[in-house]
Structure 1
Amino acid sequence: MKLSHLVAQVLPLVGCVVATPGPDPEAAASKRIDKLQKQYQKYIQGTIKHRTTGCTKKKILERKEWGSLSKKERLNYIDAVYCLASKPAKTPASEIPGARTRYDDFVGSHIQYTPFVHASGLFLPYHRYYVWLYEKALREECGYKGAQPYWDWTLSYKDPRKSSVFDGSPYSLGSNGVFIPNRDPIELVIPNTPTRVFPPATGGGCIYSGPFTPDKWQINLGPIGIPPTGPQGGLGYNPRCLTRDLSPVLSLSTRPTNVTALLDGCADLGCLNIQLDTPDGGVHGFGHFQMGTTAFDVFISPSDPVFWLHHAQVDRLWTIWQNQNPAVRTSQVWGTQTAGNFPPSDNATLDTQITFGVIAPPIKIRDAVSTIDGDFCYIYD
């Protein structure tokens, strides 16, 4: 008798039960996110279908996930980022003496307004307009033809080193940092919140391959949010390399189930804002934290070009969430006008002003609540 036949006869007699794998909650969550995105796209496409002015079908820009771009498209984007960093700064030296490039103008704006646009009612609208301004600068000042891509960290939450964003190829945004052993934990200072300590991960040094290596990219401002603070309070000229410390531990908090907890679990904008940055798994915070080093510093985090892809992803989630109930959620506001309401400030309203320094005139929150009205005309593909 063949062994397989014998096993088939014996197993029922001994009561052996062969376990079968249960449903994968992360796979199910990914499918849920895809479904909600398709619903959102259908709503946007239907809304602009018959428009002849403003944001129309012909004008709308499609923001795509980095990994879905062709190699040529990625190179075009990278070239545009280099272009922006090759142009002179417009920021007055009296405001930010260390600013040297047009790219520094954007980092400088983030430094100036960090105490107001994080952990406040300005967080989502500020960053939506901020990323759009960056996209606009790449297109109008550097000839970029595409839209701002996003980094869907749910695709690489198990290990960001395996993401096409960080694989170190010419078509990535650079590699991990060189591994530095025996490092001390990093203390992270965020305005009006308790200091947090993070263990070192898999890198820590300068990027060693792909774009934005030390011979191609330079950070000029900071540090501010990570001790020791740079010269002139972090506003002085402090040239150094871009560093990363990719963490396959901290990245676990950007898993799909944490995203569906936002999209399905939050009925109002207050919930969404709070859950985006919860200490035990907020996907906005841990999107930064998994990159380590430069991205830890909330003030100068735009110094890492991946910042823009990360915040496009955050904006994508806000947009999908809004369009589950657009009549109610598009114009919702929440929170005060200072980080953690310190110092105490008025509640945010649709007429609350958001400022951007030299990169753009002020706007009101109402100007940044819809991705297909006002200055905006884009969709997440």
Structure 2
Amino acid sequence: MRRMYSIYKERLPSADLHSGCQSGRCVAFPKLQPTDVYLPAMLNLQLYVRRLIRLASIFTLTILLTLPLAHAQDPPVPTSVAPDTVPTGVATPSAVPTTLANPPPPPNTLMTTLPCTATSPRMRVEFRQLTDQQRRDYLAAVTCLRTLPSRLGAQGSRSVYDDFVYVHMQSVPMAHNVAAFLPWHRPLVSLYEAALQTLCNYTHAIPYWDWSVDAGRVSTALVWSVEYFGGSGDPDNGYCVTTGHFANENAAYPDMHCLQRRFAAGEEASQVDGDMEASQYSPVELQWILQQPTYDTFRRELENHPHNNIHGAIGGDMPGLITSVNDPIFWLHHANLDRWWYLWQQRNPELANTFSGNRQRDAQDANDATPDDVMIYSGIWPDLRVRDVFNTVGGANGLLCYNYSASLPTPNITNPLLLRVSQDSLPDAQPQAAAVRLPHVPDSVVAAVAATAAAAAATPTNGVNATTTARRGLRRRWRGRMTVGGE
């Protein structure tokens, strides 16, 4: 204050000074103008701001230099892929990892999760068990994810939704036609659910679609209503989806195209499995699958029949290993597959934490998978061991936090196709690729299949029934017609 006073005293004429007395002491004070007070304060503030900017710049530079370049070596995005092969550019590990890599920080991340306790799990319910408003809320949250900018920054990804498509594409060699099929997808569905809740304010658990209830009439199921997911694509417009909540949407992978569906219904229905391949996921079929005595046989039957054939029957983007997640119905389909695993675990508590089968897609007869096998999530979440995801309440370090509702009542079944059990993947048939879809079958082929079935009925072999033999013959004839994505 003394120094400031002396400065002002030197600058200001004596006329600008006045006397002030306090407690007997008289002191001369300068008559200060507003600029005389504010100018030094502003100079000091400017100095402090400069110092703060300098410190922030140093801190930011330090952080940038210590972070890895996560996507500097991203592989090129494939433009096409055979349905039963691994896409070019997708990592193909020579062996499934058995040790956890240094987990990345939850990526920027997509979400954070709350601690899961036995009293806090959410209840996943069938899509029809939601109210109309809850269904609309779910679809609105999905649209939200499709508009939020990508968090992974992967090549070709435009949005958080595309991030999930990218991660699933990278999983092809380690999570399809192998023992890890069910364990790998379980956390993925929960991550998607958490993204809906954390980033888009969705307040419920992800619903599931129990297609076994719709067997025989899947093409008219409620999910395909114009109020919800919309139906099959327009055949005059490349089978682009033009109805429902996702009408005229575009998909980013493998390259930009319209969202596509091509139902295997009506004229394109299978002559053996019926409309939308219904016999492959009928209530009778699912009950037989639930009776499988080991995890390996259960997983093979669930993946080869309901899983593959729902993907194939919907057509369009759904059959492709690298395009299936483009269709939002993917998540309700895989939530239901996870529910069937959950039911198998509940029915067989002594087997709930067992895991067996083949690690590699090209070694189907191997039995080398173990609960310590590591599952990779391409930066969307830290890697996990198989044993981490057995429990849906608290598994995956609290990421898994849900149970499943009892589904809808099973309808009365009168269609003979839906009363048969398909036993064509154990033990001699190889698991089929996720891109199987049987197009319309010419009459000549149907006649040949009928002849094969009649011959098989006369001379059954290895306990395999005539229907199974006929189905195998049909699929061998049409294997060359399998497609990926839109046709």
TM-score by structure 1 length? 0.69
Q: What residue number does 1:188 align with?
A: none
Q: CA deviation at 1:347?
A: 2.3
Q: How many residues align?
A: 278
- Structure 2 counterpart of 1:262, one-letter code: I
Q: CA deviation at 1:55?
A: 2.5
Q: What residue number does 1:309 align with?
A: 332
Q: CA deviation at 1:346?
A: 8.5
- Structure 2 counterpart of 1:245, one-letter code: R
Highest CA radius of gyration, 1 or 2? 2
1:367 pairs with 2:388: yes
Q: Greater relative contact order: 1 or 2 (C-alpha under 8 angstroms, separation 6 or more)? A: 1
- Structure 2 counterpart of 1:310, one-letter code: H
The gaps in structure 1 that reach 5 residues or longer are: 1-52, 181-202, 223-237
Q: What residue number does 1:333 align with?
A: 355
Distance in 1 between residues matched to 2:184 and 2:238, nearest whole Å: 30
Q: What residue number does 2:118 align with?
A: 56
1:284 pairs with 2:311: no
Distance in 2 between residues matched to 1:176 and 1:316, nearest whole Å: 26
1:269 pairs with 2:295: yes
Distance in 2 between residues matched to 1:290 and 1:369, nearest whole Å: 30
Q: What residue number does 2:232 align with?
A: 176
Taking the TM superposition and a 5 Å limit, the aligned residue runs for 1:65-214 are 65-93=126-154, 97-169=155-227, 172-180=228-236, 205-214=239-248
Q: CA deviation at 1:167?
A: 1.8
Q: CA deviation at 1:345?
A: 8.8
Task: Report percent identity of matched pairs.
Answer: 31
Q: CA deviation at 1:204?
A: 6.2
Q: What residue number does 2:259 align with?
A: 242
Using a 3 Å threshold, how does the CA distance of structure 1 residues 103 and 175 change in structure 2: closer, same or farther?
Answer: same
The gaps in structure 2 that reach 5 residues or longer are: 1-114, 266-274, 406-487
SS at match of 2:290: helix
1:294 pairs with 2:317: yes
Distance in 2 between residues matched to 1:140 and 1:218, nearest whole Å: 24
SS at match of 2:258: coil
SS at match of 1:62: strand
Distance in 2 between residues matched to 1:366 and 1:287, nearest whole Å: 28
SS at match of 1:75: helix
Q: What residue number does 1:377 align with?
A: 401
Using a 3 Å threshold, how does the CA distance of structure 1 residues 250 and 210 change in structure 2: closer, same or farther?
Answer: closer
Q: 1:255 aligns with which of 277, 282, 290?
A: 282
- Backbone CA RMSD of aligned residues: 1.9
Distance in 2 between residues matched to 1:335 and 1:152, nearest whole Å: 26
1:220 pairs with 2:257: no
- Structure 2 counterpart of 1:341, one-letter code: A
Taking the TM superposition and a 5 Å limit, the aligned residue runs for 1:315-354 are 315-326=338-349, 328-341=350-363, 347-354=368-375
